[in-house]
Amino acid sequence: MAREEPVVQRPREAIVEAAIALFGKRGFAGTTMRDIASEVGVLPGSLYAHINSKETLLDEIVELGIESFLAIEEAIPKSAPVVERLRAAIKAHVAVAAENPGRSLVVFHQWRFLTEPNLTRALNKRRRYQQIFVRLVDEGIADGTLARTLDSKIAVFALLGALNWVPEWYSPAGHFNPVEVGEKLADILLEGLLPPRSPAGKR
């Protein structure tokens, strides 16, 4: 009985959600605290009862956002073949990106507006994330389950480029759900656009 009615959203969450959407659409520098306030439905000064500054708001979004991508490691089966692990990583990445396209756009592009020491911290997490894919590709090249002719850096850039583009076009209202998109992207990246070259091979 002492419990309150459950509110739809706590004010701080509403601010963060509005900031994610606006930073994603208009960028950090293109969004004003007044934009955020009017989206939330309060006056600009009132925001500062819940947050410290515009940049700490960005930092929180970017940092937690990258961490939600780093969490894909848990979706990678530990002792499966490289190709299977890579496929799982791609699908998990697409799931995160498609589940929250706005936040992903902020993670991929707005980190530039962080200042030190937040910038370095974010860049380090970003590097750790890339390393997940670099290690997988290197391992696959070494054991022959990926093409020997690959340059692993360029391969990872191609891979992450295709994956990081997802929030620019994915719509939950579209033909495919995130799982289907992940599978199709994994197929394209692993097998390429060309048809199967194996003689009468099943696929």
Residue ranges that bind a copy of itself, judged by CB under 8 A: 25-30, 83, 86, 109, 112-113, 137, 140, 144-151, 154-155, 157-166, 168-169, 175-176, 181, 184-185, 187-199, 201, 203
Q: Which does 183 bind (CB under 5 to 8 A by kind): DNA, a copy of itself, none?
A: none
Q: Round to whole Å and give the CA distance between 43 and 114.
A: 25
Residue 34 binds which entry of a copy of itself, DNA, none, CB below 5-8 Å type-dependent: DNA
Q: Are 72 and 92 in contact (CB under 8 A)?
A: yes
Show the tokens assigned to 149: 């002719």
DSSP for 86-113 reads: HHHHHHHHHHHHHH-HHHHHHHHHGGGG
Annotate each residue in 73-92 with x if it binds DNA (CB under 7 A) or - if it does not, as one string. --------------------
**In the complex, least distance from residue 61 CB atom to a copy of itself, rounded to whole angstroms:** 16
Nearest to 31 by CA among 15, 46, 50: 15
Cβ of residue 53: shortest distance to DNA, in angstroms? 3
Measured distance CA(22)–CA(24) in Å, rounded: 5
| CA atoms of 106 and 153, how far apart (whole Å) | 24
The region of 49-57, 65-73, 77-85, 137-145 touching DNA under the rule CB under 7 A is 49-57
Q: Amino acid identity, residue 113?
A: F
Closest approach of DNA to the CB of residue 99, in Å? 27
Which residues have a Cβ under 8 Å from the Cβ of 121 and sit 6 or more positions away? 63
Q: Least CB distance from residue 1 to a copy of itself, whole Å?
A: 50
d(CA 165, CA 174): 16
Told to check if 46 binds DNA by CB under 7 A, we report yes
Residue choice 42, 83, 160, 162 for contact with DNA (CB under 7 A): 42
Question: In the complex with DNA, which residue's Cβ is closer, 45 or 172?
Answer: 45
Contact residues: DNA, CB under 7 A: 11, 31-35, 42-46, 48-50, 52-55
